[in-house]
């Protein structure tokens, strides 16, 4: 049976939040609301999408950024998918690792796929279709994660053409693993374990990346979307003039 014709499992989009009870914290919450609305607007998937907000003990009385109430970005809320299932998890200042761990563990109860967008202040400006990359993770057991933008300097790898599109199979050095937007299969965390808890976000990211780079396990692919399509009507490349 063609797997693409089967129903796709849900993808849970996970974002970690922490808003201190300060003016900066209140501004950060507003920015997070703007950012998350952009994700809902531009992330497409031919299966169920869910949003899970993993809070690390925000000090604001109203720390939940959904439902949205701030019109500052000019989006018409009625045009967004406000019926997107939204859930919250909360840890009391145990670090971003603890927040992501509990959110991932709950997400994987219903599906092998989850997406981490760690930064709640990153706005999405154009459409990303998660469908082909979800298919790639479901079909290819050698791949555990697909990064979807915001590269790090110094990344290297092998460009591979998959049925779903081009991807850069990342070498295990530099920040190959990161908290930047990434779609994961559960096998990734089965192989490399859970996040470090009780530490800063930078240290948590650094230590997990070291573990990825030093451990045998499924690869990370950096998605290389290509806006061009070859129609293959007639091949003239081997004709001698």
Full set of structural domains in the chain with CATH: 8-224 (3.90.550.10)
With 90 as the cut, is the pLDDT of residue 138 above it?
yes
What proportion of the chain, given as a percentage, has pLDDT over 70?
90
Contacts of 149 (CB under 8 A, 6+ apart): 128, 180, 181, 223
Residues in the chain: 241
What φ, ψ does residue 57 adopt, rounded to 5°? 80, 45
- Average pLDDT across the chain, whole number: 88
pLDDT digits 0-9 by tens, 122-132: 999 999 999 99
Measured CA to CA, the distance from residue 41 to residue 196 in angstroms comes to: 32
Position 66 confidence tier, pLDDT thresholds 50, 70, 90: low
Quick: pLDDT tens for 193-204.
Answer: 999 999 999 999
- Over residues 210-219, the pLDDT tens digits come to 999 999 999 9
Q: What is the pLDDT of residue 79?
A: 52
């Amino acid at each position: 049976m063609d797997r693409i014709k089967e129903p796709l499992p849900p993808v849970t989009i996970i974002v970690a939040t922490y808003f201190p009870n300060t003016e900066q914290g209140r501004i950060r919450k507003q920015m997070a609301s703007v950012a998350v609305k952009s994700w809902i607007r531009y992330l497409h998937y031919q299966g169920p999408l869910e949003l899970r907000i993993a809070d690390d003990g925000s000090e604001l009385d109203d720390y939940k950024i959904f439902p949205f109430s701030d019109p500052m970005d000019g989006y018409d809320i009625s045009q967004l998918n406000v019926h997107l299932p939204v859930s919250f998890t909360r840890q009391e200042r145990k670090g971003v690792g603890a927040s992501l761990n509990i959110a991932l563990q709950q997400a994987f109860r219903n599906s092998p796929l989850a997406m981490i967008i760690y930064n709640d202040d990153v706005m999405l400006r154009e459409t990303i279709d998660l469908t082909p990359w979800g298919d790639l993770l479901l079909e290819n057991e050698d791949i555990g994660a697909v990064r979807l933008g915001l590269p790090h300097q110094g990344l290297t790898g092998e460009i591979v053409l998959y049925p779903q599109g081009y991807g850069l199979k990342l070498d295990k050095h530099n920040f190959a693993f990161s908290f930047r937007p990434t779609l994961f299969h559960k096998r990734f965390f089965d192989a490399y374990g859970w996040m470090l808890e009780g530490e800063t976000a930078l240290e948590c990211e650094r230590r997990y990346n070291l573990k990825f780079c030093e451990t045998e396990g499924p690869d990370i692919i950096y998605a290389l979307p290509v806006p061009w399509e070859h129609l293959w009507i007639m091949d003239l490349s081997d004709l001698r003039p």
